[in-house]
Amino acid sequence: MVNYRYLGNSGLKISEITYGNWLTHGSQVENDVATQCVRAALDAGITTFDTADVYANTKAEQVLGDALKGERRESLEIFTKVYWPTGPGGPNDTGLSRKHVMESINGSLQRLGTDYVDLYQAHRYDTETPLEETMQAFADIVRQGKALYIGVSEWTADQIRAGAAMAKDLGFQLISSQPQYSMLWRVIEDEVVPASKEAGLSQIVWSPMAQGVLSGKYVPGKDLPAGSRATDSKGGARMIERFMRDDVLERVQGLKPVADELDLSMAQLAVAWVLQNDNVAAALVGASRPEQVAENVKASGVTIPAELMARIDDVLGDVVERDPAKTAEGAPQTRVV
């Protein structure tokens, strides 16, 4: 069964393996299988579920809401996000303006079949809306009881500091950051993590398995596994391509002896690795089959000895991306329409 951790400087506990439905529900996986995956997550002790209005253009929220029907709402932590374009793509169907934020929370609640979400997250930083406007909208949503807590995703260290300070002035707090983080992608360690600790946020990390590359299933010189993310033309292949170099894949294969020593699969090792960071509250995992959920949960509670953490660094060497500037480089400079 999964362990639980506090989220940021708050009293909210979440499952350290959190179920996310980014590239699966409403797009890659049929609804009945998606529901089976959610049931498997619940059976494994996962109580925390993360989605976003943009996933499958709102369909993912609907699928998750349907899958959770009948569950005791108070026993769940449901997270969603706002920023990216949804709907027909009108001029106000994107960003963090008061209009888009207030309309988006209402749409998300309707699709999820709940009166409130436990965490509402700014899916990116909006360069075209004054931060004061965005944070006031979030403050109002909290006061209305539509969201209990507020978080951000892929914000830089400076943006986190500014947002956290403004939230405090408005009488609420930011408690979480949701960045990409894995053995191969460590760009948050030098700046985002220290800023988050200072401001009372912890990380809910996405792609702990580097889009499946750290599972070891992609072998240099061999055909891509049928049905894998690297073959998905709906978005998965594009997201994974940065890791699909022979030098990266060869280094990843070198992690197998470490996983074997811990009696873990390579995928479990990847999830357990991110959870060794004391600023990480949870690792987001998805699934296209129910049995994958049960396997992922085995990473919960694992302690990787310091000597094996050092060996992982030695094995991966210079294929690890550490440049903190990558957070800003990957962010939209203008609103995406």
Are 135 and 170 in contact by the 8 Å Cβ rule? The answer is yes
Q: Is 318 helix (H, G, I), strand (E, B) or coil?
A: helix
* Cβ pair 7, 119 in contact under 8 A: yes
Task: Using alpha carbons, select from 189, 178, 180, 182 the residue that is nearest to residue 267.
Answer: 182
Say how many C-beta atoms besides its own lie within 10 A of residue 221's C-beta.
Answer: 7
Measured in degrees and rounded to the nearest 5, phi and psi for residue 145 equal 80, 10
Write the DSSP symbol of residue 244: -
Q: Is 55 one of the catalytic residues?
A: yes
Match 């169907």 to its residue by tokens.
93
Which of the residues 4, 6, 19, 55 is marked catalytic?
Answer: 55
- Vertex 271, ends 257 and 37: CA angle to 5°? 120
* DSSP assignment string, 135-146: HHHHHHHHHTTS
Backbone dihedral angles phi then psi of residue 294, each to the nearest 5 degrees: -60, -35
Integer Cα distance of 226 and 260 in angstroms = 25
d(C-alpha 164, C-alpha 172), whole Å: 9
Residue 237 in contact with residue 25, Cβ under 8 Å? Answer: no
Would you please indicate which residues are annotated as catalytic (active-site) residues?
55
